[in-house]
Amino acid sequence: MTGWKIFYHSVFLLNHNLQKAVQLSSPLIAMIILTTVVENPEVFGGYVVKEDFQTLQRSLLFLLNGGAGLWVAVSWHRYVLLEEEGGLLPAFHGARVLSYLGTLLIVLLVIVIAGSFVGFFATALGFLGAGLTGLTSTAYFKLLPLVGPVLVFWFFYRLAPLLPAAALEKQMTFGDAWRATSHISWSVLIAGALLWFSSLTLAFIFEIISMQVGAFIGLPSLGALQWASTMAGISILTTIYGITMEDRRL
């Protein structure tokens, strides 16, 4: 049940502090609106970029969205864990944002390396199992696309405390984060899976609604869902840090 409690508490944090969440996430909201309008000019009457510049446009929007997301993540971590209010816009801690980005990239690199090793051994076991049972190895390999994402989720959330620590300027090693989440090893995976499942389910429902009411209303609704899912994901990281590093109760 701890996994459900982590997910519920994270969503509760957003709902209980909704006004502050909207304020602190204003850069992300602005980018979601801008991206929705720019990428759907036929709906909102915007300017259609020439095909030669579409890749540049997408790359620029990706960078701006990523920067806004990092800014908001740091601000939300600091608000929940340090009660840092901020002003009309969230306080911009440039050094913390860069540290957060660096930590995130290193975590993703570690996950890729670990995933490569897991994939190698899983492949070897697939061939070994096929040889021992006489079954085709294809049957084993069909399981890899199912197991792979689960392992990625698990590795990421086991290392989750590293990200809020970077936002708070706290020193933490990979070993520290791994040990801190050892007692909630599978709970963090369940919390992440609940976020993933709920986001996909709501996105599917919103897509159906969008087909009925039209893109002019449907696209903003999907944008709102994107905001909610992103903030819930950031909030889950905050909750994991709080219960593992600060002994906070759910």
Determine, yes or no, domain membership for 137. yes
**Res 217: pLDDT:** 77
Question: What total of structural domains would you count in the chain?
Answer: 1
Determine, yes or no, domain membership for 24. yes
pLDDT of 246 > 80? The answer is yes
What's the CA dihedral at 47, 53, 58, 59 to 10 degrees? -140
pTM of the model: 0.87
pLDDT of 145 > 90? The answer is no
Determine, yes or no, domain membership for 51. yes
Determine, yes or no, domain membership for 250. no
pLDDT single digits (tens) 5-35: 999 999 999 999 999 999 999 999 999 999 9
Q: Whole domain around residue 40: which residue ranges? A: 2-245
Determine, yes or no, domain membership for 181. yes
Task: Please report, for the chain, how many H helices and E strands are present, in that order.
Answer: 12, 0
CB contact burial 201-237 (16+ within 10 A = b; e otherwise): eeeeebeeebeeeebeebbbbbbebbbbbbbbbbbbb
Mean pLDDT across 237-249: 93
Determine, yes or no, domain membership for 184. yes
Determine, yes or no, domain membership for 165. yes
Determine, yes or no, domain membership for 58. yes
